[in-house]
Structure 1
């Protein structure tokens, strides 16, 4: 964790281990990140109305070098990255043979390498999969989490914060909507379905535009220096709680939170950002195509509003969502206190649950946000 006065680390306030460094990461010098810096509500407002920097240095970071890196990743993952160029970013999934989501990674390319940053504690599994699939391909994947770390700039004034670091304004993120079921072959353009501009940081590393802000990859030894530079320019540090509150409100799913062992990409709105539906074969592709052509995946992502009367504590990850008749219809992924919306949660629920259903989560009444899908 970056040492800033008032920082409250996640391992003090959050029992969930998914946002904690693994023992291997701790041995390599990867510490906890800050849940908040004393006032999570103010920090949310900062990220929503101005700009702040969030320590996400617990994320795993891999790098893939070698002449065949793009075509190799293209053949293994859900995204069209065969022609990925320096200065381009996207996101991708690794699926099981049955099409269930196993890994999610954000992507950035420079002139010599493709960088993958993934959920805390998952870099080892992702590297293990990639190593098994090398065969005679000219690629060299490696785990560089001990040397590089992720920070995130979030807020409408993010361009001014980038200028402080010597980075030009990055183009807005572009995400193509998924085509309709049984679309004609060749109608999905080649190339990534999500396109995120990437630019080099003058002192090393890069900046990448994304769906929720701009991620910075910096040498781990320079973390404190980057945060200090931003602070001197009026960009405060904000905690992970604030970042997660904005993510939940934006309905952006996280693997390990809004997923379980049988989640498919269509259930958690990842077809557009991370899945190219007309790129050829990869592991799990048959399930993706079959479910998409049917047009109705069995579950869907929903934003729930919790009444907070029974308890003012957000329910735990994977708490059951229960219908009025007592039937379990889904689970909560991430529940947060939002500074305007109150207690809200991202949940994965059965598709046939009506939008006006009376639900409960951990004893609290819950209602589906009408903008969260059909």
Structure 2
């Protein structure tokens, strides 16, 4: 675990550096490109071997067989019912496919990939000897990223652009993540220590700041926003992580049925919270419309411009214009919802209307 005791004002936990005393200033610095964030809550896995891309393609929701080097994307591993089990950011350097993974998901994903190798020419490895640093693409130019083949392992987040084969459910006039500039670099531990020790005041930011910017951009994350039954449709994750016209993979049938013929049973909403009592909900806190519980908080944060904000998964049929209340341990908090995934998401297939059997047309 990285030691932050020498950094003035640093507050850390088992996941890494939380903040340095002023999360709002850290958010501004991250967004402007003047700060970097050590991402202690991210892990690195690698897949090497001749069959690596076609193998990952066959297992995941993403089309990867012909992925060009240095092209960032992401994948989901689904269960047979189409529910999200694992997620990873993906970058290939021409010889190795790098997977950047939320720390709680790293060991389960590694174990699952190891079981799925069979006789293919692939080698899966845990690269916990490496670290991950986040910031704007320009800010990461100051970082010496791992580059084993000459291609720096810097993954630039494609969110919220719609990737080839993807589909967007959220249709606001201006998506709050439209100007999002976020990238993650894989570095040696020695490089991480150098960045920490040599950074001027204000040049580092913590995970609290990273999360606030993510939530404001409606960007889903498996460690925060997914439960054991979440479908990618419910989080608008078809945008960047699902290729709807690629070949067969586990869970594809459900993905196609929900998208083409049905509706996701839940939908993610963004919440603007009443900050008058300085109460921030926790993950799992119930969301109500009147006296009816319609869902639960998945992520919440204090944002430097918007104040307290959150993401929540609610029932598809929950009213889109209702005033909501979040039940927290400190008491109820009023919330205004902004629709991310609309209630009518899905059912995109055009089903032709057939004439009634036996109907006759007049010949005049």
| TM-score category of the 2 structures, normalised to the smaller one | 0.7 to 0.9
1:114 equivalent to 2:97? Answer: yes
In structure 2, the gaps of 5 or more residues are 146-151, 170-178, 344-364
1:361 equivalent to 2:326? Answer: yes
Match of residue 347, structure 1, among 295, 305, 312: 312
Deviations 1:317-368 (A, max 9, x none): 11111111x2211111111111221111011111222222121112111110
Tell me the distance in 1 between the aligned counterparts of 2:92 and 2:211: 26
The 8 Å contact of residues 74 and 88 in structure 2, kept in 1 or not, is answered as yes
Q: How far does residue 163 in structure 1 lie from its aligned partner after superposition?
A: 3.9
Tell me the number of residue pairs that the alignment of Structure 1 and Structure 2 aligns.
317
Tell me the distance in 2 between the aligned counterparts of 1:281 and 1:360: 42
Deviations 1:52-109 (A, max 9, x none): 1011033121110111000000000000001123222210000111111111100111
Within 5 A, what are the aligned runs for 1:173-252?
173=158, 174-176=161-163, 178-179=166-167, 212-228=181-197, 231=199, 236-252=203-219
Change (3 A) 1:50 1:140: closer
Give me the TM-score of the superposition, normalised by structure 1.
0.78
Deviations 1:265-291 (A, max 9, x none): 000011011000011111111110000
Please say which structure displays the higher CA radius of gyration.
Answer: 2
Indicate the SS of the match to 1:222: helix
Quote the residue 1:184 is aligned against: none
Indicate the SS of the match to 2:222: coil
Indicate the SS of the match to 1:257: helix
The 8 Å contact of residues 105 and 223 in structure 2, kept in 1 or not, is answered as no
Tell me the distance in 2 between the aligned counterparts of 1:170 and 1:283: 26
Quote the residue 2:242 is aligned against: 275
Tell me the distance in 2 between the aligned counterparts of 1:286 and 1:138: 28
Give me the TM-score of the superposition, normalised by structure 2.
0.80
The 8 Å contact of residues 2 and 223 in structure 1, kept in 2 or not, is answered as no
The 8 Å contact of residues 58 and 149 in structure 1, kept in 2 or not, is answered as no
Over the residues paired in the alignment, what is the CA RMSD in angstroms?
2.6
Quote the residue 1:261 is aligned against: 228
Q: How far does residue 313 in structure 1 lie from its aligned partner after superposition?
A: 2.9
Indicate the SS of the match to 2:264: coil
